Chain A
Amino acid sequence: MSVRGVDKVFGTGRERTEALRRIDLEIPQGAFVSLIGPSGCGKSTLLRLIGDLTQPSVGTIEVNGKTAHRARLDRDYGMVFQSPVLFDWRTVQRNVELPLEMTALGRTQRAARAAAMLALVELAGFERRYPWQLSGGMQQRVAIARALSFEPALILMDEPFGALDEMTRERLNLELLRIWKQTGTTIVFVTHSIPEAVFLSTQVAVMSARPGRILEVISVDLPQPRNDLTREDARYFGFITRVRERLRGHDVAPPRAAEVAASG
Chain B
Amino acid sequence: MRRLRYYGPAVAIFVGVLAVWEIAVRAFGIQQFLLPRPSAIAAAFTEHFDELVTVGGNTLVEAVGGLLIGGVAALAVALATARWTAASRALLPFAIAANSVPIIAFAPIMNNWFGVLNPLSKMMVVAVLVFFPIMINTLRGLTLVDRSSLELMRSYAATELAVFTKVRIPNALPYVFTALKVSATLSLIGAIVAEYFGGARSVLGQFIITEAAFFRFANAWAAIVVASAVSIAFFLIIVAIERVAIPWHASSRSAESS
On whether A and B touch (CB less than 8 Å), the answer reads no
